[in-house]
Structure 1
Amino acid sequence: MRKMTAKIIIMAGLIVLSASAAFAHSPLCSCFDNGDGTVLCEGGFSDGSTASGVRMYVKNESEVVITKGVMNESSEFEFNKPEGAYTVTFDGGEGHSIEIDGADIIE
């Protein structure tokens, strides 16, 4: 599954790169429900830069941060799936953030 995910991230990066040079450093992040009570997010940037060290936040429906951390050396962030509605934020800095609705994260 991780190989397929890496291919998807690479393909998405190539599409973004071909769309416009103005977006040469766009953030990319995908999250997947592992089916075991955990969620795995993988990230990077469209220019091929790693997301290692990028801050990650998981917020509940009241916008309260319930989990936070950073992408590891493999540009991955894994967390325990919270109960109820939640969002995941990939915080790559100004203009480089992505918010993913927990309802869009599928197994």
Structure 2
Amino acid sequence: MRYILLMVLTAVSLQARAHYPLLNCEFTENEQSATEQVFCDAGFSDGTKAPNVVMEVFSEDDETLVSGHTDATAKFQFDRPEGVFFIIMDAGPGHVIEISDEEVN
């Protein structure tokens, strides 16, 4: 009986471990079109990747500039917009992160 209780408590504690979204974005040059792009890698603090999550890019006036999803390898890429912008990764309730263009490396 103790063994079963220990297993149940272990399973519950593993599920309770919190993780938070991480979004790493950097500027890259597209040599074919000579445009600057933003390349993002989405994941979580527990080391897992975030494939097929909603990604949106907004202007400082809250105009949607780009929207889509991360690919199967949790990557998202788009042409660098002019002016100030911010990127939102939405992986579901409690798993939303926003970064500004100033946080892009």
TM-score (norm 2): 0.74
Q: What's 1:41 paired with?
A: 40
Structure 1 residues without counterparts, runs of 5 or longer: 1-20
SS of 1:51's equivalent in the other structure is coil
Percent identical residues: 36
Which residue of structure 2 aligns with residue 98 of structure 1? 97
Deviation at 1:104, TM superposition (A): 1.9
- Count, aligned residues: 86
Structure 2 counterparts to residues 72-91 of structure 1, below 5 A = 72-91=71-90
| Deviation of the 1:22 alpha carbon | 6.0
Q: Could you say which structure has the larger radius of gyration?
A: 2
1:24 has 2:18 as partner: yes
Structure 2 equivalent of residue 10 of structure 1: none
Per the TM alignment, residue 23 of structure 1 is displaced from its structure 2 partner at its CA by 5.6
Query: Runs of 4 or more off by more than 6 Å in structure 1?
Result: none
Specify every segment of 5 or more residues in structure 2 that has no aligned partner in the other structure, as ranges. Answer: 1-14, 31-35
Q: Deviations over 1:32-84 (max 9, x none)?
A: 00134100000112233331110000000101111001010111000000000
Per the alignment, in what secondary structure is the counterpart of residue 34 of structure 1? Answer: strand
Q: In structure 2, what is the Cα distance between the partners aligned to 1:33 and 1:83?
A: 13
